[in-house]
């Protein structure tokens, strides 16, 4: 019996395409939903597991993110239906929503850099008298 060839590179590209497709579908559906509680929300990425049973949806918002998680959970069924209608996949994954950690990390980095800059300015101000 001949061995089946697998192409890891191709599988990786397929999962990337699927992640991007789900991100686009979810973002479009969230745009269509007329709910003031959603506010301005941005879907930054989606990561589907290997079995296509769960998808982690990472988002960011300018509004209070803790309340957004509850609002997004209430729209899971509608979002899954949209994915089923628009994407050609056998199994629509369960959606889990998470705050995008990259946004929080970048905000913290900006704060640290601003503190360093302020410290450097205050140190230099004491030695500028020549």
Quote the pLDDT of residue 130.
Answer: 47
Predicted confidence band of residue 79 (pLDDT cuts 50, 70, 90): very high
Average pLDDT over residues 17-43: 88
Helices and strands in the chain, H and E counts: 4, 3
The residue among 71, 30, 26, 64 whose CA lies nearest residue 47 is: 26
Residue 87 DSSP class: S
pLDDT at 125: 73
Q: Are 72 and 43 in contact (CB under 8 A)?
A: no
Instruction: Extract long-range pairs of 84-92: CB within 8 Å, 24+ residues apart.
Output: 86/25, 87/18, 87/21, 87/22, 87/25, 89/18, 89/52, 90/52, 91/52, 91/53
Q: Which of 24, 5, 31 is nearest to 83 (CA)?
A: 24
pLDDT confidence bin for 105, thresholds 50/70/90: confident
């Amino acid at each position: 019996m001949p061995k089946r060839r697998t192409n890891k590179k191709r599988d990786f590209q397929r999962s990337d395409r699927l992640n991007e497709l789900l991100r686009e579908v979810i973002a479009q559906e969230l745009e269509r939903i007329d709910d003031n509680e959603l506010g301005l929300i941005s879907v930054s990425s989606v990561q589907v597991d290997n079995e296509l049973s769960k998808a982690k949806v990472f988002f960011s918002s300018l509004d209070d993110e803790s309340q957004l998680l509850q609002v997004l959970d209430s729209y899971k069924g509608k979002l899954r239906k949209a994915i089923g209608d628009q994407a050609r996949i056998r199994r629509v994954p369960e959606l889990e929503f998470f705050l995008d950690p990259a946004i929080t990390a970048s905000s913290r980095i900006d704060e640290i850099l601003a503190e360093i800059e302020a410290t450097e300015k205050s140190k230099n101000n004491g030695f500028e008298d020549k």
